Amino acid sequence: MTNYPSILLSKAVDQFASLPGIGRKTALRLVLHLLRQSEADVEAFTSALNSLKQDVHYCRVCHTVSDQEVCPICQSHSRDRQTVCVVENVQDVMSIENTGQYHGLYHVLGGVISPMDGVGPSDIEIDSLVARIQPEAIKEVILALPTTMEGDTTNFYIYKRLQNLMASLPIGEGLKISQIARGVAIGNELEYTDEITLGRSIVNRVDFKV
């Protein structure tokens, strides 16, 4: 156990070290950096965090982080409002937005089903997703969850729930459920691609298009 020369220092280090991926050495380095800044700078740092926590909202519709009750994407009329992309978290929304390849809406689950971590379907925003999918308005749900066992479990659970929903519909009314393509990443050499990805990319090969 490290002895800190100051209790105040030790408390500040405790706080930083409680953040994910920040060890005590890094925490100490960050705290000593802040200590070298002016009081106004530290005040700006802490007030940005306080006002974030106090004033930020989660969008009532898609559950992404937003300054408003309903986020700009959910409010926008220039977006494709018939397509909903289901993602795990806010970072995923930002990553997909950065590609510039998607123009529909989002739904942020806030996690994936993970029995090992005690996360069940009711702990994440699946009910609100199903409630939101009104087949007369939504034509496609894209599942863009992590390509892990937990992501696959969640994909399957959502698929089943949406199928139940569709069973009650008149014949002909359809909801398309898709998932993001999986395979060898663009720019990768095959010899450095892991065996599972490479194997599945052969099994799940698609027609060559020019």
Query: Counting beta carbons within 10 angstroms of the beta carbon of residue 18, is it exposed (0 to 12), middle (13 to 18) or buried (19 or more)?
Result: exposed
Residues 120-139 that bind a copy of itself (CB under 8 A): none
Q: Does 204 bind a copy of itself (CB under 8 A)?
A: no
For residue 106, give both structure tokens: 């989002």
Angle at 192 between CA 187 and CA 193, to 5 degrees: 75
Q: Which is nearer to a copy of itself, 65 or 184 (CB)?
A: 65
Q: Which is nearer to a copy of itself, 48 or 131 (CB)?
A: 48
Q: Does 23 bind a copy of itself (CB under 8 A)?
A: no
Q: Which is nearer to a copy of itself, 50 or 163 (CB)?
A: 50
With CB under 8 A as the rule, give the number of residues binding a copy of itself: 58
Q: Does 69 bind a copy of itself (CB under 8 A)?
A: no
In the chain, the largest separation of any two C-alpha atoms, in whole Å, equals 73
Q: Which is nearer to a copy of itself, 55 or 189 (CB)?
A: 55
Q: Does 5 bind a copy of itself (CB under 8 A)?
A: yes
Cβ-contact 63, 106 below 8 angstroms: no
Q: Give CA–CA dist 206/61, Å, rounded.
A: 35
